[in-house]
Structure 1
Amino acid sequence: MIKLKGKQKSIGVFDSGFGGINILRGIVRELPEYNYLYLGDTARTPYGTRSREIVYEFTKQAIDFMFANGCELVILACNTASSDALRKLQQEYLPKRYPGKKILGVLVPATEAAVDSTRNRRVGIIATEGTVKSNAFVDELIKLDSGIKVFQNACPLLVPIVEAGEQNSKAAKLILEAYIKPLKKKNVDTLILGCTHYGILERRIKEAAGSNITIVSEAIVVPRKLKLYFARHPEIESVIGKKRSIRFYTTDLTDKFTTLGSKFFGRAVKAEKITL
């Protein structure tokens, strides 16, 4: 495992691409004092069409790198990784390999927010094929409210649109309308954006969904939940460095990562290429 120089005790945020930078931006806004390490596995994105076994292996390699380079806590900002790999990593891999370290996902904060938001108990989800197939969101929602009705739609074209920087195109508008229309017909009043990339499309999604549907964005709910988590776990919070440093790593450094990553983060992003 590659260990880089100058590692600092940090909060790690991992995604298969750069969609998770949107969540990192929200976390830094809510909790600016900490050190952060972001890793995007852009060489192997998207994860949403891959098998559960491959997603687990890729995610395990990512957290190995992040723990080796100072992370005390890693947030899987990739919904596919959260649905396909998180539980196994938490229950089997961490206790043996990294006792004392923590990995958190993004599904539970989003489902809790959706249950709090819905009035008619009809919740829609847009996500990658892998996340929809896993039924992870459905399972978590039903745990919270056994009477809730959940409707999912896989949206395989949205991640490539975001990764190509085409989120403001006419094609993106038409594709979003086609994906959301079936959920509107189901009379959902709450819609979970079940992929970190979709936060980049939030304004367009709101336009397609209409004013009667509440949008649950992980970039908003995850930072709030992390703040509460630290309040409950001071033993974790206290060991994380507070020098406000932010490091970015990617497995395929391209101009697109730098340009779009900077746009999504709201300020310049300078990343270093690594191999997992």
Structure 2
Amino acid sequence: MMKQGPIGVFDSGYGGLTVFKEIVQRLPQYNYIYLGDNARVPYGTRSFETVYRYTWECVQQLFALDCNLVVLACNTASAKALRTIQQNDLPLYDPFRRVLGVIRPTAEVIGQYTRTGKVGILATQGTVSSESYVIEIHKFFPEIQVYQEACPLWVPLIENNEFRTPGAEYFIRKDLENLFAKSPDIDTVVLACTHYPLLKDIILKYLPGGVNLISQGELIADSLADYLERHSDLRACCSLGDSRQFYTTGAVPEFDEKASLFLGSAVQSAPLLL
């Protein structure tokens, strides 16, 4: 059996902390390491090859920190890098380690939320261009119509703590109008970027009444709990305890300040050089 180690959670920046928070709340018995690639954010506008390379570099860093299971709490990384890592890299690097994403767990349950069969996706340009949500949702619910809207400014606004400004609100309202112009019958909207839950209050101001707004944190946490329940060998390789470690490729003081806002509690991180 492999050496026990913490569960790794990766994101291009801070957004994955919204998923990290829900996972820890759902599965508090395990040790965790969070890694934010803040030095190279945002991923959403980068090429497939670049996102894959950055993601695989960070996954290997988490493996080096003894993580046997890594969750890509980043939709862009899940869309552009996950399949290559799972199919090409892991069999050669270590076939017993696992890397999971956030798109499939969302697609598996989206049919429970929509009545009209029309679902909206708010995401980065990279996730939208990949068509990953369209493909995955149609695997489980071929009858559902999926409408996507890229929101290229949302992540930079959040990462720079500018999302509570009138200018930010203008872009959020405009992107929502663009989405519903594609179909006024959309009754379920997925925040398909883990940064976006921080904008939930603003989004709700401009969301039509009766529309479901889906954040991924709880869905991913429930999916991970189910995955570990079904894979007892991997579950046995996840170390138990209350250790919560944070690493960033960017500036530590800035990460600690902003991460504390995402988590609602103080964070002390360590630098990680790639």
C-alpha contact 1:47 1:55 (8 A) present in aligned 2: yes
In 2: Cα distance, 1:56 partner to 1:194 partner: 18
Question: Equivalent residue for 1:168?
Answer: 164
Map Cα deviations across residues 182-212 of structure 1 (whole Å, 9 max, x no partner): 2223121011111111121122222221331
Question: Equivalent residue for 1:262?
Answer: 260
In 1: Cα distance, 2:20 partner to 2:176 partner: 26
In 2: Cα distance, 1:8 partner to 1:237 partner: 9
Question: Equivalent residue for 1:194?
Answer: 192
Question: Equivalent residue for 1:56?
Answer: 52
List alignment gaps of at least 5 residues for structure 1.
1-6
Name the SS of the counterpart of 1:112 in structure 2: helix
C-alpha contact 1:258 1:271 (8 A) present in aligned 2: yes
In 1: Cα distance, 2:265 partner to 2:94 partner: 33
C-alpha contact 2:73 2:194 (8 A) present in aligned 1: yes
Name the SS of the counterpart of 1:196 in structure 2: coil
Name the SS of the counterpart of 2:195 in structure 1: helix
In 1: Cα distance, 2:198 partner to 2:235 partner: 29
Tell me the CA shift for residue 256 of structure 1.
Answer: 2.9
Q: Does 1:100 align with 2:130?
A: no
Name the SS of the counterpart of 1:272 in structure 2: strand
Map Cα deviations across residues 90-118 of structure 1 (whole Å, 9 max, x no partner): 01100110110000000011222322211
Name the SS of the counterpart of 2:148 in structure 1: strand
TM-score by length of 2: 0.95
Q: Does 1:207 align with 2:219?
A: no
C-alpha contact 1:253 1:272 (8 A) present in aligned 2: no
Question: Equivalent residue for 1:23?
Answer: 19
* Moved beyond 3 Å, runs of 4+: none
List alignment gaps of at least 5 residues for structure 2.
none
In 2: Cα distance, 1:189 partner to 1:14 partner: 30
In 2: Cα distance, 1:120 partner to 1:196 partner: 25
C-alpha contact 2:252 2:269 (8 A) present in aligned 1: no
C-alpha contact 2:252 2:270 (8 A) present in aligned 1: no
Tell me the CA shift for residue 8 of structure 1.
Answer: 6.8
In 1: Cα distance, 2:158 partner to 2:28 partner: 26
Which structure 2 residues correspond to residues 68-217 of structure 1 after superposition, within 5 A?
Answer: 68-185=64-181, 186=183, 187-217=185-215
Counterpart of 2:269 (choices 268, 271, 275) is: 271
Q: Does 1:12 align with 2:8?
A: yes
C-alpha contact 1:123 1:190 (8 A) present in aligned 2: yes
Question: Equivalent residue for 2:237?
Answer: 239
What number of residue pairs does the alignment pair up?
Answer: 270
- Structure 1 residues 65-74 or 175-184, which shifts more? 175-184
In 2: Cα distance, 1:226 partner to 1:239 partner: 14
C-alpha contact 2:158 2:195 (8 A) present in aligned 1: yes
Name the SS of the counterpart of 1:71 in structure 2: coil
Name the SS of the counterpart of 1:43 in structure 2: helix
Tell me the CA shift for residue 56 of structure 1.
Answer: 0.7
CA RMSD for the aligned pairs?
1.3
Counterpart of 1:223 (choices 218, 221, 224) is: 221
The letter for the 2-side match of 1:238 is A
Map Cα deviations across residues 108-147 of structure 1 (whole Å, 9 max, x no partner): 1122232221111100001111110000011001111112
Tell me the CA shift for residue 150 of structure 1.
Answer: 0.8
TM-score by length of 1: 0.94
In 2: Cα distance, 1:127 partner to 1:254 partner: 27
The letter for the 2-side match of 1:262 is S
